[in-house]
Structure 1
């Protein structure tokens, strides 16, 4: 699929880029084209949404103590007049060694940025559509009866995915989530928690029809 933009009187084509050399998956039932059939991925929406997702996860953990928080005496260091020194009222002032920091970082900073809901939706649909276009969506129920990493690896190997760089599984199954925790190349997340950054980086998205219906329900 191509998009044509006019830049400096020249026609520039934007195409889907192959995202993986792994097995392509043919779907037995067609996917919803409103969500998985976007003809041209919107790269700017994807970029903005990934920044939004990263900023939303960022926490202000760096902090220094102000003059009100450092320990120290409250006594006036020396009298106001007659010493020839500059006046001082507290040893906890930032001008003294061991005093509080002036204008230092605090842990109440909010790094979140605003991206419109429609833009985030467009980015999500663009990422899903690219996976569908590259036939990197495997519709299968990977729910497990018991916790077993070995069984999960066998199941992935049956689809030639045991050595895939990044396998993303959209599932709410607790046994599957725990079974995949020890696999560095496998991430299991609930459909409601899927990130655009995960979809863009995945070699393959494994999802059941039930989870597909759940995703479709979010866009109705």
Structure 2
């Protein structure tokens, strides 16, 4: 029986004297192949990241107006496309209502303005306590004070009284359409860029300057992220640059987008904005949001 097994082994493995050597050689080959594959995977670049749009929940009004944007890197000054993102057409391909954008701008400029112009009434002007002349007997007009609005140096009637607020609330859906119109205009004018995140490798302001110059981002940049707490490096890098500002997604507004030449959004910020704006555009109680604004409304 042993002779038969030896003969069989020699027929199957004529160049190997022992079967254990064969197993060791096979294991060595497998290990070498796995190591080579791991090295090749590490050397080869990552595949492009493609983020398709999910139309299951909110179907677009016009599917032909779908938009796509490149996802750029921020880990180096040299530009590199790391992926492609599909944008929802109801948010980034809306009809640009210039009239609504202008109404949003006027609303934002006026609600923060308080007029300090102030005039004094006849009761507040200094002097004029006694009656200037008797009521009767002198043939003169009847006056009770020289600080009457009829006298020089007297009080002012119906003059401005400070502080005067110019606050008013724009209708809800004009605010929503203002955001979608401005985002669509920024994308159409190639002034909207999408980045992976806001994790830059250094806190040096020169890195941001070189990044803006290399990418042609314009003289002023607004960087938007989903969270309101930004990484330490980008906070230090943009602290001394007055033309680069950071803003969380919940603070995005029409005035700030038009004030800056370039709008830079992270991937998380784009998803968050699409989620919130699409919810407002398709909510069931939209009629209740069109009611008159009240200060105590939630």
- State TM-score, norm by structure 1: 0.71
Residues 93-143 of structure 1 deviation map (CA, whole Å, 9 limit, x = unaligned): 222232221111112544234532112211210110122233322223336
Structure 1 position 211 matched with structure 2 position 272: no
Aligned residues: 193
Q: Structure 2 regions of 5+ residues with no counterpart? A: 1-68, 72-83, 280-298
Q: Is the 8 A contact 2:116 2:164 kept in 1?
A: no
Residues 121-180 of structure 1 deviation map (CA, whole Å, 9 limit, x = unaligned): 11210110122233322223336798754443233234233xx23322224338656754
Q: Greater CA radius of gyration, 1 or 2?
A: 2
Structure 1 position 31 matched with structure 2 position 87: yes
Q: Would you tell me which structure has more helix in proportion to its own residues?
A: 2
Task: Mark the CA change 1:142 to 1:78 in structure 2 (over 3 Å): closer, same or farther.
Answer: farther
Query: Alpha-carbon deviation of 1:217?
Result: 4.2
Q: Is the 8 A contact 1:67 1:100 kept in 2?
A: yes
Aligned to 1:188: 246
Task: Mark the CA change 1:216 to 1:107 in structure 2 (over 3 Å): closer, same or farther.
Answer: farther
Q: After superposition, where does 1:83-162 map in structure 2 within 5 Å?
A: 83-140=138-195, 141-142=197-198, 149-161=205-217
Q: 2:220 aligns with which of 166, 169, 178?
A: 166
Q: Point out which structure has higher relative CO (alpha carbons under 8 A, 6+ apart).
A: 1
Q: Structure 1 regions of 5+ residues with no counterpart? A: 1-24
Query: Alpha-carbon deviation of 1:208?
Result: 1.7
Aligned to 1:8: none
- State TM-score, norm by structure 2: 0.55
Cα distance between partner residues in 1 of 2:250 and 2:140: 64
Q: 1:61 aligns with which of 116, 135, 138?
A: 116
Task: Mark the CA change 1:130 to 1:88 in structure 2 (over 3 Å): closer, same or farther.
Answer: same
Structure 1 position 42 matched with structure 2 position 97: yes
Aligned to 2:287: none
